[in-house]
């Protein structure tokens, strides 16, 4: 599959490199394609990957991972041209500057805002409750980390589930896109536990049932 990964930091770099290594065509979109960070992601991803401007990456892709700061999201996507039919995998948590909460919540979410801005796109919330370390290795003992997924387009969600499975995650269907109102605060809880409670990045959420 042709995947645009917007962002070459820890999240975009981890998922993009692993998808490239799994055989997908990955095009990293970066504000500065020549930066050390972008070039390091490209080198790690291997021969099937490339890096360029965000608009070029989106134009070439079937699915797009949003791994950029929330305050850049609208302008980056507006500059990309048509998003019609493209799957937008939103892993953004609109965190407050102190990392203690989210700037949107209860009545809307970042994912719903993106869908409102770009109604021609197929927005799926996913990968927002994971650390980069878990993205690199989702295996915890005998179990895989869960990826919580929500969206209004069933086919798009199915594609994202397969993209999660190929990396070793167990996807969890959470329902329509409005459930991002719960997933984004869950992402903020993960950040709080990892950063302020000392858990670090080598921990992950998983639902248990019996």
What's the confidence (pLDDT) of residue 206? 96
Whole-angstrom distance, CA of residue 72 vs CA of residue 7: 11
Q: How far is CA 62 from CA 98, 147, 159, in A?
A: 35, 21, 10
State the Cα–Cα distance between residues 19 and 88, nearest whole angstrom. Answer: 16
| Domains assigned to the chain | 2-195 (3.40.50.720)
The pLDDT value recorded for residue 106 is 83
* The pLDDT value given to residue 81: 84
| pLDDT tens, residue by residue, 45-95 | 998 899 999 999 999 999 999 999 999 999 999 998 889 999 999 999 999
208 Cβ contact partners less than 8 Å away, ≥ 6 residues apart: none
- pLDDT (0 to 100) of residue 7: 95
pLDDT given at position 138: 97
CA distance 19 to 4: 11
- What SS3 state is found at 159? helix
Compute the average pLDDT of residues 163-177.
98
Q: Name the band, by pLDDT with cuts 50, 70 and 90, for residue 105.
A: confident
Over range 192-202, report the average pLDDT. Answer: 96
């Amino acid at each position: 599959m042709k995947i645009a990964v917007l962002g070459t930091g820890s999240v975009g770099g981890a998922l993009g490199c692993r998808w490239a290594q799994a055989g997908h065509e990955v095009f990293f979109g970066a504000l500065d394609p020549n930066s050390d960070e972008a070039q390091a992601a490209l080198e790690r991803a291997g021969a099937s990957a490339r890096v360029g401007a965000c608009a070029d990456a989106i134009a070439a892709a079937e699915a797009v991972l949003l791994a950029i700061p929330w305050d850049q999201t609208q302008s980056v996507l507006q500059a990309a041209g048509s998003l019609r039919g493209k799957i937008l995998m939103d892993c953004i948590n609109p965190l407050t500057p102190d990392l203690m909460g989210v700037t949107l919540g209860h009545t809307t979410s970042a994912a719903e805002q993106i869908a409102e801005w770009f109604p021609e796109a197929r927005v799926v919330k996913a990968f927002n409750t994971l650390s980069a370390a878990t993205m690199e290795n989702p295996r915890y003992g005998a179990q895989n980390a869960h990826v919580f997924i929500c969206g209004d387009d069933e086919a798009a969600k199915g594609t994202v589930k397969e993209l999660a499975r190929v990396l070793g995650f167990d996807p969890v269907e959470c329902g329509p896109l409005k459930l991002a109102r719960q997933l984004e605060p869950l992402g903020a809880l993960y950040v709080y536990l990892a950063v302020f409670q000392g858990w670090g990045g080598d921990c992950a959420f998983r639902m248990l049932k019996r």
